Structure 1
Amino acid sequence: MKETSLDIKDLQLNALLEVTQAVNNNLPEDDLLKIYKFTLLADLKINKLALYTQQQDQWMCRVNFGTTNNLIGSTLPEEYKELKNQMGMVETSFDEFDSVFPVFHKSKLLAVVFMESDTKLGVQNRFLNALTNIILVAIENKRLARQQMEQEAYRRELEIAKKVQNFLFPKELPKIERLQIEAFYLPHHDVGGDYYDYIQINENRFLACIADVSGKGVPAALLMSNFQASLRALVRQTKDLYEIVTELNHTTYVSGNAENFITFFAGIYDFKTKELEYINCGHNEIVLKHGGGIDLLNDGTTVLGMFDPLPFIETQRIASLEDFFLFMYTDGLTETFNEKDEAFEFDRLIELLKEDCPEDLSEHHSEILQRLNDFRGNEPFHDDITMLTCRVHNK
């Protein structure tokens, strides 16, 4: 019995209702594409079909049947990416197909449908366009909703990381006659991978440190928060820098899966013995000004988290330190670039540090930052910048 045009319209209407119901039921993308495929097979009697849609910047085949070769995952030929917004089929030179049907949503090319059918589709073009539009707009909306959810999840993750990072830094730094410590921190993103700390060990000893984790953003901040917690726990158990660094390296190696590393400098000063013990773990050159001269504190070991155990480790002691100035920083400072693609570099920093330092250490940091801004001009910062300055008067 031959189907009348009224019967065909009823079938198409029922098909559209079923597809709309599937969309309303929030079925997965693959299920929607299967419904699309079987609706075309049943209602339009299409022998061969290939549906291409754009995913990110790539046009790929999402639905395919009837062809000699499986086209799923194949890319759309360039000449079909500029099809005009028009209703109906156009001829194609694509092997195995006799026509191509561009599907638009407003002015945007949403899909390209290649097909071959034993019957002329004619007035059924409108049905094909509506069906493809409903399916693909639903899939696009799913993608946008998923993207929004991912962005919201990242935003919440970022807020948590920022709160965690705020707990990393000491709430108060000493500003008394015998010890002044000042810190400056400028994250490149909302959260960064730099860390500094001051830990009062007892009435005569304190630890000051600075660190920089490879990588940026939330993962770097979380790895650094774990590092800080480990350091503070270790200082309560031992005052031996060798033991502290050995354990910090192991913790970082495990938590970072040997894929991330941390550069680290720590110094312990004893007011009673007037001795500074330090270790530099692959960090920048730390500047010690005392007795009218400058020492660069480089000795120690390699970066933490790459090798377990560390290939070598050695702490250093500097005796007879009464009045001194200790400047720590991360490489975001010296690796700031200007518009000529020149880095600020250590030579400019050391010349600046040779100058007389203001009594107010915050002014000292402001002066360095001003020099840095003058140097970079309109070029943005590309990394976190952290400075920690200690001034000791112990006479």
Structure 2
Amino acid sequence: MTDRFDLRALYEASRLLSTSGDRNAIVRTLLLSALSKLLVTRGVVLLWEPLVQRFRVADVRGPVGMAPGEELTLPQPVADRLLLEAEVPEVLRQRSLCLVVPLMFRHRLLGLLSLGRKATGEGFSKRELEFIQALATLSAAALHNALLIEELQQANRDLDLRLQQLNTLFELAQEFNATIDREQLAHLLSLALMGQLLVNRYVLLIRLEGTERPSSFQVLAARGLPTTLRPEQIEHLARLEHPLLLEDAPPVWDWLRALQLYLILPIRQQGETQAILGLGRRMNNLPYGPEEVEFLYALGTLAATAIRNTLLVEVQVEKRRLEREMQLARQIQQRLLPRQLPQVPGVELAACARTSQQVGGDYYDVLQEPGGSLRLAIADVTGKGLPAALLMANLQACLHMAVPLALSLETSTVHINRVVCENTEADRFITFFQARYEPTTRQLVYVNAGHNPPLLLRASGEVLSLTHGGLLLGVFPQAHYEAEQLSLTPGDVLVLYTDGVTEVANAKEELFGEERLLACLETHRNASAQAIVEAVRQAVEAFTGREAGYEDDFTLLVLKIVPL
């Protein structure tokens, strides 16, 4: 008996325990040494698992009714004191185990060694208990060292994984920044998810730039999932502030489970959700751990930022295209307006045309006909930008072609209307006014096709609105127009204008209106045509506090009859 428990036996056991850094080998050595030295036929080693707060069967010998990996709930020993017979927990006594030896290292519980009775039927002697206590102490130290080695190895693996993820993110950041093709970006995201995490089902929603509503999110990348979601679904997702594991989510998220999604990550920047990444299960069925979730957040942020940058680039490209279009439209508009007004005895002519920043479709013209008459025209084309400018160019071409043909105003207006109807879309139309003035007879004939009625201020004080004519141009191809003829006398003033004169508003959202225009004209009716134009322009600017033509085209044409 003495030979089994001398120092050489402990030394041999200590040598075996210290040379192994594997927990399983240590546990096996401990259990086999205990069974052989104490002549016991059954025993078990239980290791403490702090994460689940339970004991796990690490190794078992003999018929104890336990299997490796099985978990047990047992009271923790308060010290490293051995437990015998009645002190042994009931769960172990039921399995014919009568001795429990705590495996403690510096007051840290690592596990339990539990043994059955000796094969001889005798009780454990004091020397045997001292030996098994010493063996447990040596084993606990070895287990502690093995745990440190495992923790260090795991830390190294985690560090390697983190380094690999950082390298992957760095490479992806370079690739994401190297393209503005959204399809290519979505492909890169798919490759990263599949290559790193074995995820082949995902959806990425991104908040559109310059929008605040939750429903402004849009699916901009997806694999194995629909590319559109209902507004109420997007709004529901946009409220998320924390990761959502659908396995444990309430029934309100069943529609996401139906899409076979497993994890939803809201990607938040500056306190707001800027993107939403939805992921299916991993193909290896492993869960998403904290490291994977952190990687997904970084990857999702990279992808969302890159895709949002493509949207910003598109906005800038579109902005520059519009700026070029506006510049071209201004050039067209300026070239269509007369550079110099005709000089005709008995007539004063003056005009002012200010183009707004948005470029509308205002147009005016004064042409001298072959017989000496003057053709006056003013128009306002619907819309803004290049389309309005091109339509205005068509109108000018039609008018210039009609003047040499010596057609009546009614007939020429009918022809112009037909051309406009045939060459424009249904939502495009033109307000148009044209007049012919014969200086020798002082006769004025006009047709008004839905334009702001020009004002005729008689020298006698009478004011007429010239409304006779017909429909807007471009509304009805078979429209007919009627003309009206008036006799003018010296001192009469004819004022043609567009809605950019009367419908401009001040800071109180009040319109300048026809009443203010008429009051200004009556105040300055005795002035020259050029002075009248300047007076109206200054009145409008004083009323609005802005330069004329700032918001809408400002066009004004004045004809004043003077003595020969």
TM-score interval, smaller chain: 0.7 to 0.9
- Residue 73 (structure 1) aligned with residue 229 (structure 2): yes
Aligned to 1:189, the other structure's residue is in SS state coil
TM-score of the pair, normalised by structure 2: 0.60
Once the two structures are superposed, the pairs formed by residues 291-330 of structure 1 within 5 Å of their partners are 291-292=459-460, 293-310=462-479, 312-319=480-487, 321=489, 324-330=492-498
- Residue 155 (structure 1) aligned with residue 323 (structure 2): yes
- Residue 240 (structure 1) aligned with residue 408 (structure 2): yes
CA distance in structure 1 between the aligned counterparts of 2:279 and 2:176, rounded to whole angstroms: 24
160-169 vs 110-119, greater mean Cα deviation: 110-119
Instruction: Report what 2:561 is aligned to.
Output: 392
- Residue 32 (structure 1) aligned with residue 196 (structure 2): no
CA deviation after TM superposition for structure 1 residue 391, in Å = 1.2
Instruction: Report what 1:209 is aligned to.
Output: 377
CA distance in structure 2 between the aligned counterparts of 1:104 and 1:269, rounded to whole angstroms: 70
Instruction: Check whether the contact 2:524–2:532 (CA below 8 A) recurs between aligned residues.
Output: no
- Residue 254 (structure 1) aligned with residue 410 (structure 2): no
Instruction: Report what 2:286 is aligned to.
Output: 119
359-368 vs 300-309, greater mean Cα deviation: 359-368
Unpaired segments of 5 or more residues in structure 1?
none
CA deviation after TM superposition for structure 1 residue 125, in Å = 3.1
Once the two structures are superposed, the pairs formed by residues 268-283 of structure 1 within 5 Å of their partners are 268-283=436-451
Q: Tell me: higher relative CO, structure 1 or 2? Use CA pairs within 8 A at least 6 residues apart.
A: 1
CA deviation after TM superposition for structure 1 residue 170, in Å = 0.8
268-277 vs 48-57, greater mean Cα deviation: 48-57
Instruction: Report what 1:60 is aligned to.
Output: 218
Residues 372 and 14 (structure 1 numbering): CA distance in 2 closer, same or farther, change over 3 Å?
closer
Residues 144 and 245 (structure 1 numbering): CA distance in 2 closer, same or farther, change over 3 Å?
same
CA deviation after TM superposition for structure 1 residue 341, in Å = 4.2
Instruction: Report what 1:368 is aligned to.
Output: 536
Residues 353 and 359 (structure 1 numbering): CA distance in 2 closer, same or farther, change over 3 Å?
closer
CA deviation after TM superposition for structure 1 residue 22, in Å = 5.3
CA distance in structure 2 between the aligned counterparts of 1:302 and 1:327, rounded to whole angstroms: 21
Residues 369 and 378 (structure 1 numbering): CA distance in 2 closer, same or farther, change over 3 Å?
closer
Unpaired segments of 5 or more residues in structure 2?
1-156
1:189-208 CA-to-partner distances (Å, cap 9, x unmatched) read 34222111111113621111
Instruction: Check whether the contact 1:263–1:303 (CA below 8 A) recurs between aligned residues.
Output: yes
CA distance in structure 2 between the aligned counterparts of 1:109 and 1:263, rounded to whole angstroms: 49
Aligned to 2:523, the other structure's residue is in SS state coil
CA distance in structure 2 between the aligned counterparts of 1:66 and 1:346, rounded to whole angstroms: 63
Q: Which amino acid aligns with 2:241?
A: L
CA distance in structure 2 between the aligned counterparts of 1:323 and 1:263, rounded to whole angstroms: 28
CA deviation after TM superposition for structure 1 residue 33, in Å = 1.6
Residues 390 and 26 (structure 1 numbering): CA distance in 2 closer, same or farther, change over 3 Å?
same
Instruction: Report what 2:73 is aligned to.
Output: none
- Residue 102 (structure 1) aligned with residue 266 (structure 2): yes
Once the two structures are superposed, the pairs formed by residues 189-204 of structure 1 within 5 Å of their partners are 189-202=357-370, 204=372
Instruction: Check whether the contact 2:337–2:363 (CA below 8 A) recurs between aligned residues.
Output: yes
203-212 vs 46-55, greater mean Cα deviation: 46-55
CA distance in structure 1 between the aligned counterparts of 2:440 and 2:263, rounded to whole angstroms: 90
12-21 vs 35-44, greater mean Cα deviation: 12-21
Aligned to 1:391, the other structure's residue is in SS state strand
- Which residue of the other structure, out of 79, 83, 100, is the alignment partner of 2:241? 83
CA distance in structure 2 between the aligned counterparts of 1:340 and 1:379, rounded to whole angstroms: 17
1:152-207 CA-to-partner distances (Å, cap 9, x unmatched) read 11111111111111111111124565221111223333422211111111362111
Q: Which amino acid aligns with 1:270?
A: E
CA distance in structure 2 between the aligned counterparts of 1:215 and 1:373, rounded to whole angstroms: 24
1:98-153 CA-to-partner distances (Å, cap 9, x unmatched) read 54323356776442223354323332334323332333222222222222111111
Residues 25 and 373 (structure 1 numbering): CA distance in 2 closer, same or farther, change over 3 Å?
closer
CA distance in structure 1 between the aligned counterparts of 2:217 and 2:488, rounded to whole angstroms: 71
Residues 239 and 272 (structure 1 numbering): CA distance in 2 closer, same or farther, change over 3 Å?
farther
CA distance in structure 2 between the aligned counterparts of 1:377 and 1:18, rounded to whole angstroms: 56
CA distance in structure 2 between the aligned counterparts of 1:190 and 1:266, rounded to whole angstroms: 26
Instruction: Check whether the contact 2:267–2:276 (CA below 8 A) recurs between aligned residues.
Output: yes
CA distance in structure 2 between the aligned counterparts of 1:110 and 1:348, rounded to whole angstroms: 51
Aligned to 2:492, the other structure's residue is in SS state strand
State the structure with more CA Rg: 2
1:30-82 CA-to-partner distances (Å, cap 9, x unmatched) read 34224423542443134754432212431234445677xx4743443447446
Aligned to 2:517, the other structure's residue is in SS state helix
1:1-47 CA-to-partner distances (Å, cap 9, x unmatched) read xxx87996798578658756754663731342244235424431347
Instruction: Report what 1:285 is aligned to.
Output: 453
CA distance in structure 2 between the aligned counterparts of 1:274 and 1:218, rounded to whole angstroms: 39
- Residue 343 (structure 1) aligned with residue 511 (structure 2): yes
1:253-312 CA-to-partner distances (Å, cap 9, x unmatched) read 1332131111111111112333211111111221223351333211111111111021x3
Instruction: Check whether the contact 1:62–1:72 (CA below 8 A) recurs between aligned residues.
Output: no
CA distance in structure 1 between the aligned counterparts of 2:274 and 2:357, rounded to whole angstroms: 35
1:227-266 CA-to-partner distances (Å, cap 9, x unmatched) read 1122112213334212321121122213321311111111
CA deviation after TM superposition for structure 1 residue 392, in Å = 2.3
Residues 221 and 109 (structure 1 numbering): CA distance in 2 closer, same or farther, change over 3 Å?
same
43-52 vs 279-288, greater mean Cα deviation: 43-52
Q: Percent identity?
A: 28
Instruction: Check whether the contact 1:162–1:190 (CA below 8 A) recurs between aligned residues.
Output: no
Aligned to 1:354, the other structure's residue is in SS state helix
CA distance in structure 2 between the aligned counterparts of 1:193 and 1:49, rounded to whole angstroms: 49
CA distance in structure 1 between the aligned counterparts of 2:336 and 2:309, rounded to whole angstroms: 40
Residues 22 and 339 (structure 1 numbering): CA distance in 2 closer, same or farther, change over 3 Å?
closer
Instruction: Check whether the contact 1:274–1:321 (CA below 8 A) recurs between aligned residues.
Output: yes
Q: Which amino acid aligns with 2:468?
A: D
- Residue 45 (structure 1) aligned with residue 198 (structure 2): yes
95-104 vs 202-211, greater mean Cα deviation: 95-104
Q: Which amino acid aligns with 2:466?
A: L
Aligned to 1:124, the other structure's residue is in SS state helix
Aligned to 1:148, the other structure's residue is in SS state helix
CA distance in structure 2 between the aligned counterparts of 1:364 and 1:189, rounded to whole angstroms: 25
CA deviation after TM superposition for structure 1 residue 367, in Å = 2.2
